[in-house]
Amino acid sequence: MSVTVVGLDGAALPPAAARALAGARVVVGAPHQLAVVPVPVGATVLGPAELDGLPDTSPVVVLASGDPGFFGIVRALRTRGLRPVVLPARSSVARAFALLGRSWDDVAVVSAHGRSLRGALNVCRAHPAVAVLTGPGAGAVEIVAGLAGWRRTVLVAEDLGGPDERVRPFDGGPPRDPHVVLCLADEHTVPTRGWIAGGEPVPPSAGWALEEAEFSHREGMITKSEVRALALARLAPGPGRLVWDLGAGSGSVGVECARLGAAVVAVERDPAQCVRLVANASAHRVDVRVIEGQAPAVLSALPEPDAVFVGGGGPDVVLAAARASPRVVVTLAALDRLAPCRAALREAGHHVGGVQLAASRFAELPDGSVRLAATNPVLLLWGRR
């Protein structure tokens, strides 16, 4: 079967696309797409939901919006064993940022069309510049609601390819389809010159489990790098995921999770530590939402996490974290807290593991040789549900 996919962007069809459409015996497209192209007389017309019922007739033309290879219908055709000829138009994202007059090589692009909005929201919470391909129940209204508490400007690029296409601040009014949501930490910031699309690479080029000196902290009051390395491995932070950092202190674990692409909410009761946490996030150029308050009291108002790190708090905090998340990591310095925290994880239905970490670091002697200097042992618990 001969299949050609034609991308539409509101402009006149280029010659190759016009020729393919003129010779089509079957045309597949949504009503708004079929309305703007000259469908050949006598051609069978099908909707996108009827791809599985394509007649064994050639040639077939499938209409799509923008670039059909960019979160588009080309994947659906390939999964059906078809190898289409693709004639793309400008992608909706490229068109949206052209209207804004902004480069977009630093922009993370996510799709919420036919997918869960949760991952897209977490990217918007973590990344300073995001374009969201929208769908029913996953548009500007839902995105704005999910970003409550995060400092973001939400713009709508609407009627893309149509006579009234524009980019406007979202004001609650329904956007005109097709539309893309642009979520920006600061719409006036000029992106720094990069080399990889989407911004900084994940994982970060400078590595992770950074030295304690990389963070401002109260003397000794920081999760040591060796402990942080294992905690990060168990938390599995990444793009599209949300991590709670409870009893965050200086925020070293939360900042590291954000450096690995996750959205992060840090809860800390000490105002001075909250200030320090914000400074650490800023120094590492990541966005961490800081909640000054006491867990578990403040947790009910937070969006659902994918993982929780408990760096401070008793069994009540661990139990609340374990009920909220399928993945929990707890650090303990006091041995008598081990049994109740382990019991709290088990009560919430988690499979529990743990280890004691006792690292000895190199310390230089006056003659240039080294000795081993022991750090305080730490108990690390983790639960998976």
Residue with tokens 């659906």: 76
Average pLDDT over residues 127-149: 94
Instruction: State how far the Cα of 222 lies from the Cα of 277, in Å rounded to an integer.
Output: 11
Mean pLDDT of 160-177: 88
pLDDT at 290: 98
Which residue's structure tokens are 């389809």? 177
DSSP 176: P
- Tell me the pLDDT tens digit for each residue of 185-233: 998 888 888 888 988 888 888 899 999 999 999 887 899 999 999 999 9
The tally of domains found in the chain comes to 3
Together in a domain, 232 and 354: yes
Range list of H helices, 175-330: 225-235, 252-259, 271-283, 315-324
pLDDT category at 56 given cuts 50, 70, 90 is: confident
Q: In whole angstroms, what is the distance from residue 129 CA to residue 104 CA? A: 8
Query: Does one domain contain both 171 and 102?
Result: yes
Tell me what pLDDT residue 53 has: 84
Report how far residue 179's alpha carbon sits from residue 192's, in angstroms, rounded to the nearest whole number: 27
CB 24 within 8 A of CB 60: yes
Are 185 and 128 in contact, with CB atoms under 8 Å apart? yes
Task: Check whether residue 113 and residue 225 sit in a common domain.
Answer: no
One domain for residues 372 and 246: yes
Q: Are residues 22 and 127 in the same domain?
A: no
Residue-wise pLDDT tens digits, 362-375: 999 999 999 999 99
Say which amino acid occupies 363: A
What are 186-189's contacts with CB under 8 Å, separation 24+?
186/128, 186/153, 187/100, 187/102, 187/153, 187/155, 189/128
35 and 178 assigned to the same domain: no
What confidence score (pLDDT) does residue 16 get? 95
206 in a structural domain? no
CA nearest 265: which of 275, 276, 273, 253?
253
Q: Are residues 263 and 339 in the same domain?
A: yes
124 vs 192 pLDDT, higher one: 124
- Residue 194 covered by a domain: no
CATH of the domain at 43: 3.40.1010.10
User: pLDDT of 5-35, one tens digit each?
Assistant: 999 988 789 999 999 999 999 999 999 899 9
Are residue 371 and residue 257 in the same domain, yes or no? yes
| Token pair 């800390």 in the structure block, residue | 268
The residue type of 215 is F
Query: What is the rounded (10 degree) CA torsion for 188, 191, 197, 202?
Result: -100
* 65 belongs to a structural domain: yes
Q: Which domain holds residue 354?
A: 212-384
Q: Are residues 279 and 368 in the same domain?
A: yes
Going by pLDDT thresholds of 50, 70 and 90, the confidence category of residue 359 is very high
- Higher-confidence residue of 57 and 372: namely 372
Q: Which of 139, 167, 184 is the last residue of a domain?
A: 184
Q: What is the mean pLDDT of residues 122-140?
A: 94
Single pTM value for the model:
0.90
Q: Are residues 218 and 173 in the same domain?
A: no
Residue where a domain terminates, one of 40, 73, 90 = 90
The last residue of a domain, from among 26, 56, 90: 90
Residues 75 and 148 in one domain: no
In this prediction, residue 313 carries a pLDDT of 83
